[in-house]
Structure 1
Amino acid sequence: MLSILALVFSLPAVGLIWEFQSYRLTDPFAAFAEPAGLMRGCTDIPEAVALADTLQTRALRIERYMESLDAKKAEIAKAEAALRERVAELKSQKAGLQSGRDGATQAVRNDIDRLIALYDQMKPAEAAAILTNLPSDFAAEILMRVNPETGARIIAAVEPRQAALLTAEMGARSVRKR
């Protein structure tokens, strides 16, 4: 008698376990994919039906939101690529401008070096006459760059008042460089 009772009670339990295992093996996400599977046996309860509808609506909203996030991610990636491209372009332009500036600066230095060489070759009295007619900051710059002996002879040939101004300008120039 006991074995018959055990068989009667165990058959439904084995059937439920078998159904649960086959359900899990076939599609583990079926409950999320099909709300109808969740509603099996509950269609006569209005609250359960309303809850299922609400959940389905929310699932659709989430799906749409995720799609919009993916679209925004794509837009951001596209904008990042455009920005990287623009930065690379600007860097190349900056390098071109820098090399152009370096060339222009070198040309100016070459011109100044030729001018200094010219003043080094002049007679001190002639150089002094020209320097007194130049702006004092420019004349001081020339005097600072010429050979010190030549500079001393040129300053000696300049009127004492003008020589004092040029010397003061040269000293101020040295202080500004520090």
Structure 2
Amino acid sequence: MNKPSTKTPKPIQRQITLLILLLFLASAGVRFAGLSAAWATAETDVEVTDTFGSDMCIPDPAFSTMMEDLTAREARLLAAEVAIEQKRVDVELSRQAILEQLAILEEAEMRLEAGLAASSTASEDDLSQLTAVYQAMKPKVAAELFEAMDPEFAAGFLVRMAPESAAAIVSGLEPATAYAVSVIVAGRNANALKE
């Protein structure tokens, strides 16, 4: 008969090999972890040395001078900006004051024009009414009044009157007065044609 074989079956051999391999890997992992911790503590104990020397931190005098110049220039620019802004504010305030004064002047001008127009209209109304009074008078009585008037003043009324009324009054005037008034009236029309 056959003898039972002393060899272990293959699947068990594989399992044992796998178990040994896992033990080796676990041992390597533990050793590696311990080594990493040792390296970490060793790195914190390392002293840093200055490889460049202490003269590297001393600034160049030209650089310091340049920085001082730049700082001074920046201060001057800031002061100039402040001055310009102040001038802009002053100009704006002046402009506002000018606009306010201009509005006051325009209002005063409108009031003056309205006053002049009212005065002119009132004066014109007064002259028209007085002319109507002289026109309504008897020519002989009106002629006596016109004799006493300055010839230019009398001519102003005669020009405003209807031609028939003016002719009746002029016919009652002294010849010298009638001539003077006629010359003034004719002179007004002559100037009107030239203009």
Query: Do they superpose with TM above 0.5?
Result: yes
Map of 1:47 onto structure 2:
62
Matches within 5 A, 1:17-166: 44-166=59-181
Unmatched runs of 5 consecutive residues or more in structure 2:
1-55
The Cα shift of 1:61 comes to: 0.3
Residues 170, 42 of structure 1: alpha-carbon distance in 2 compared, 3 angstrom cutoff? farther
Structure 1 CA distance, aligned partners of 2:146 and 2:58?
Answer: 107
State the match for 2:186 in structure 1: 171
Higher mean C-alpha deviation, range 156-165 or range 109-118? 156-165
For residues 43 and 123 of structure 1, what CA distance do their matches in structure 2 show? 121
Partners of 1:99 and 1:129 lie apart in 2 by 38
Provide structure 1 residue ranges, at least 5 long, that are not aligned to the other structure: 1-40
Q: Aligned AA for 2:133?
A: L
Q: Is the Cα–Cα contact under 8 Å of residues 42 and 49 in structure 1 kept in the other structure?
A: no
Partner residue, 1:13:
none
- 1:136 shift after superposition: 1.0
Q: Contact conserved, 1:140 with 1:166, CA < 8 A, in 2?
A: yes
**Identity across matched positions, percent:** 25
1:89 offset after TM fit, Å?
1.4
Deviation of residue 47 (structure 1)? 2.4
Tell me how far apart the structure 1 counterparts of residues 191 and 107 of structure 2 sit (CA, whole Å): 34
Shift of 1:175: 3.1
Q: TM-score, normalised to structure 2's length?
A: 0.66
Number of residue pairs matched by the alignment: 138
For residue 70 of structure 1, report the CA deviation from its aligned partner: 0.5
2:130 & 2:106 partners in 1: Cα distance?
36
Aligned alpha-carbon RMSD (Å): 1.7
Between structure 1 and structure 2, the one with the greater Rg is 2
C-alpha distance in 1 between matches for 2:185 and 2:102: 44
In 1, the alpha carbon distance for the partners of 2:175 and 2:68 equals 103
